[in-house]
Structure formats: structure tokens, C-alpha cells
């Protein structure tokens, strides 16, 4: 599964060309797609196809599979640009360029079968981790029991994005309750498998058109060949294989959405006049704009730090959680600020900032809440502190000897 290596300079040129393509798409096509989605409440099949034809659904996939092979540092500016658009457009873009990484942790046969299909836009992958009555870790209740050379899945997942559109779903289930995080296993479950049922969830506040499903497994049989990675690797595949880089990507998405809200607000206060003076001349308005710009740039730099470390092969659990946690607060402040600067007209449905305000709230929950991000950061800090204590004790013991 190798291809001729592409130089860093050539990758940069490709990334820049794709970024310009994304800019044109935002300016010339995305508004009409967004209006159609808001009006119908559905993502038209033509949008999936258009984003495929523009090459937007294969940017991070490996080149041997037909992808562009962009590292996160080059991909993130394009993701930011696409996040100026309607939330469902951003979601197609993000899901296409992120969830495939779970399959990259699988066998060579699994990768060779699925990744070229994903890169070509012929397959959509869903990720089923979250459960309605449990968290997203070792308390999962979906089980996979090994019987006669196969696994039998039972349980329920919810809030599974694009499950209805997915050709295959990566499912995290418990195979051994006594092993904690090492008792979780990932499975590849193709569409239409007996014992797998999908139910639509209620319409969400934002990201109109983006489908979410409840996925129920009732004596759903999967083979040993459909284990992703190896038995007991589910936690590693879920976090290191997907969630860490996806959290950083969600943070970068928040940056793009916030920048759009900021741009709209800046344009408005320069045009709006009260008491004979433009709003932009008022110090209170200027201070709010400055705060919005500073918060957005700070989140952008946190994302860049996480991207560079990920590209270098480092563990970014802490950096991704910091970026996502900060971005949640940032996008709240910026979209609140944009709405306040618009005043009452901003609160009207279909105002330039009303949809942004709604779409921003989905970013609070994708890949974990603010509290979850803070817990990840705190656990990392405490783990490093314990490690330093052990090293100091070992050093002291060595000196004494």
C-alpha cells in the first residue's frame, strides 16, 4: 500500500490550489446549496456528488488509495474555509476527511477494500460510539460476544451522523467487561446487515439536513474478519485513530464559523448608522470586535499547534482537547457577539447571523463537551506530574547508589 512519495512543495501547491477552489465554491455555489438545505431540511444527493467532483471528499486520504494525502497543517486552512458555509456542507467535508482514519487502523485487506472507495466518493463511513444511556468510554453497554467463530452484537447507539447514508459503520463494543478500556473492540458493520436497525432522530437545532440515527443491534452477527484492528483495540482506535484528530478538526471548524460570523458583523456595523454615526465608530462596538478577532485567532493557533504535532506523529490528546475546549467557548462568544452587534434584525430567521448562531451550537457536542475536554487535559497534566515524580525518585535513588 505504497505510492511514489510526493514532495512537500508539491503538496503545498496542491493544498493552495484546493484552497482557492474552496474559496470559489463558498462564493459562487455554497449559498444556494445552503438555502436549499434550510428550505427542505435535507441534503440533496447532488451536493454529495458536487463535493466529490470537486475533490473535497478525499483531501486527507492516503495517496495510494486515491486521496490527496494532505497533512493536517495543510488541510486545516481548507477546512476553515469550508466551515464558513452551511453546517451540513461542513459536516460532509469533515466526516469524509476524518472517519476513514479508523479504517486505517485495520488490516491491509480492510484498508485496500474500503479506503479507495471512500477516496473516490463511492462509500461513506459512519462512526458509532455514543450511547443514549451511557458515556463514550469504558461504561459502554453495547456488547460483542464471541460464539462459534463469530461475534454477536447487541446494544444501542445514538446521535450517529450519516448512519443512513453510510455504506459501513465502525462500531465500538464491549468484548470483555473485566478489562476496562482494553475490553473494547472495533467492528466494521456493512449497510443492511441482519440485526442492525436504523431509526431517524428528531431534527436538530442547527446543521439542518445533516441526518443522525439511533442504531440498534439485535443478535447482529459479524465475522472475525470484520474486527477492526485486533480484539481489545477499540479504545485506541476510537481515541487515537479518530477522536483526537477529529477534536482538533472540530475546533478548526469553529474557527471558520466564527470568522464568518465576525466578517458578517464587521460588514454590518460599518454600514449601520445610528444617531448620525456608523456603529463601527463607537468604542463599545470596536472593543467587542477586537475581542472576537482575538479569540478567533487564539483558537486558530491552538489548532495549528495540534496539527503540527499530529503530523509529526506525536500524541495530541491534550492539544486536541485544549483546542476543542477553547473553541467551544470562543465560538459561543463570537456568535453571541455577532448577534448582539446585529441587534433585533439578527434574531430574525434567515438573517446573516441567525443560521451561524444555530450551527455553532452543534460544535459544542461533536466529539465531546467542554467538560470532557477539560477532563482530558486535567488527566494529562496529572499523569505528566506523576511521571515526573517517578523520574525524580529514580534519579535520586541512582545518585544515592
pLDDT in tens, 191-246: 999 999 999 999 899 999 999 999 999 999 999 999 999 999 999 998 877 899 99
Q: In 10 A of CB 292, how many CB atoms?
A: 24
Domain 8-119 has CATH 1.10.3720.10: no
The tens digit of pLDDT for each residue in 317-344 reads 999 999 999 999 999 999 999 999 999 9
Q: Confirm whether 367 is a catalytic residue.
A: yes
The pLDDT, as a whole number, for residue 399 is: 79
In the predicted model, is pLDDT for residue 354 greater than 80? yes
Is residue 60 scored above 70 in pLDDT?
A: yes
Region of poorest pLDDT, from 8-12, 141-145, 392-396: 392-396
Share of the chain above pLDDT 70, in %: 98
Q: Which of 28, 35, 367, 379 is an active site residue?
A: 367
Average pLDDT over residues 110-126: 97
User: What cell numbers appear for 162 in the block?
Assistant: 450519516
The alpha carbon of residue 107 and the mean position of all alpha carbons in its chain are separated, in whole angstroms, by 24
Torsion of CA 309, 310, 313, 317, to 10 degrees: 90
- pLDDT at position 136 is 63
Q: Which CATH superfamily is domain 236-388 in?
A: Butyryl-CoA Dehydrogenase, subunit A, domain 3 (1.20.140.10)
**Domain boundaries in the chain?**
8-119, 125-231, 236-388
Provide the 8-state DSSP code for 215: E
User: Would you say residue 16 has pLDDT above 90?
Assistant: yes
Confidence of residue 157 (pLDDT cuts 50, 70, 90): very high
Q: Cα Rg for the chain, rounded, in angstroms?
A: 22
Which CATH superfamily includes the segment(s) 125-231?
Butyryl-CoA Dehydrogenase, subunit A, domain 2 (2.40.110.10)
What mean pLDDT is predicted for residues 2-15? 83
- The one-character DSSP state at 202 is P
Residue 272: φ, ψ to 5°: -80, 130
Are both 125-231 and 236-388 of the same fold?
A: no
Q: What does the alpha-carbon distance between residue 307 and residue 284 come to, in Å, rounded to a whole number? A: 35
Query: Is the pTM value of this prediction over 0.85?
Result: yes
Task: Please tell me the distance from the alpha carbon of residue 207 to that of residue 216, in angstroms, as a whole number.
Answer: 24
- With beta carbons less than 8 A apart as the criterion, state whether 218 and 142 touch: no
**What is the average pLDDT value for the chain, to the nearest integer?**
94
List of residues 6+ apart from 59 with CB closer than 8 A: 18, 67, 68, 70, 75, 78, 97
Check: CB of residue 38 under 8 Å from CB of residue 355: yes
Binned at pLDDT 50, 70 and 90, residue 396 comes out as confident
pLDDT band, residue 374 (cuts 50/70/90): very high
Instruction: Determine how β-strand 168-174 pairs with β-strand 125-128.
Output: parallel
The per-residue pLDDT for 367 is 87
Amino acid at each position: 500500500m505504497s505510492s511514489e512519495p510526493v514532495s512537500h512543495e508539491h503538496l503545498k501547491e496542491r493544498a493552495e490550489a484546493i484552497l482557492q477552489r474552496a474559496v470559489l465554491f463558498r462564493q459562487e455555489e455554497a449559498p444556494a446549496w445552503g438555502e436549499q438545505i434550510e428550505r427542505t431540511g435535507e441534503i440533496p444527493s447532488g451536493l454529495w456528488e458536487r463535493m466529490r467532483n470537486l475533490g473535497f471528499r478525499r483531501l486527507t486520504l492516503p495517496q495510494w488509495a486515491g486521496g490527496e494525502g494532505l497533512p493536517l497543517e495543510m488541510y486545516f486552512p481548507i477546512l476553515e474555509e469550508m466551515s464558513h458555509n452551511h453546517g451540513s456542507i461542513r459536516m460532509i467535508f469533515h466526516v469524509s476527511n476524518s472517519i476513514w482514519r479508523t479504517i486505517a487502523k485495520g488490516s491491509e485487506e480492510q484498508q485496500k477494500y474500503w479506503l479507495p472507495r471512500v477516496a473516490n466518493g463511492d462509500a461513506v463511513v459512519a462512526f458509532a460510539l455514543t450511547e443514549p444511556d451511557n458515556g463514550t468510554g469504558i461504561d459502554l453497554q453495547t456488547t460483542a460476544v464471541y460464539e462459534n467463530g463469530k461475534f454477536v452484537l447487541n446494544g444501542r447507539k445514538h446521535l450517529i451522523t450519516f448512519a443512513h447514508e453510510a455504506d459501513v459503520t465502525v462500531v465500538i463494543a464491549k468484548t470483555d467487561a473485566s478489562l476496562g478500556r482494553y475490553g473494547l473492540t472495533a467492528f466494521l458493520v456493512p449497510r443492511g446487515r441482519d440485526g442492525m436497525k436504523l431509526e431517524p432522530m428528531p431534527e436538530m437545532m442547527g446543521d439542518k439536513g445533516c441526518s443522525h440515527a439511533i442504531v440498534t443491534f439485535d443478535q447482529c452477527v459479524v465475522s472475525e474478519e470484520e474486527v477492526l484492528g485486533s480484539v481489545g483495540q477499540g479504545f485506541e482506535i476510537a481515541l487515537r485513530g479518530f477522536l483526537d484528530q477529529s477534536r482538533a478538526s472540530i475546533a478548526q471548524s469553529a474557527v471558520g464559523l466564527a470568522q464568518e460570523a465576525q466578517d458578517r458583523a464587521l460588514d454590518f456595523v460599518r454600514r449601520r448608522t445610528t444617531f448620525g454615526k456608523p456603529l463601527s465608530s463607537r468604542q463599545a462596538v470596536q472593543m467587542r470586535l477586537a475581542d472576537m478577532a482575538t479569540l478567533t485567532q487564539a483558537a486558530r493557533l491552538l489548532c495549528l499547534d495540534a496539527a503540527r504535532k499530529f503530523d509529526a506523529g506525536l500524541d495530541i490528546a491534550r492539544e486536541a482537547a485544549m483546542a476543542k475546549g477553547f473553541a467551544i467557548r470562543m465560538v459561543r462568544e463570537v456568535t453571541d457577539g455577532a448577534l448582539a452587534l446585529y441587534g433585533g434584525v439578527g434574531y430574525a430567521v434567515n438573517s446573516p447571523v441567525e443560521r451561524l448562531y444555530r450551527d455553532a451550537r452543534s460544535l459544542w457536542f461533536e466529539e465531546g463537551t467542554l467538560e470532557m475536554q477539560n477532563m482530558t487535559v486535567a488527566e494529562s497534566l496529572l499523569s505528566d506530574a506523576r511521571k515526573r515524580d517517578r523520574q525524580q525518585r529514580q534519579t535520586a535513588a541512582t545518585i544515592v547508589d
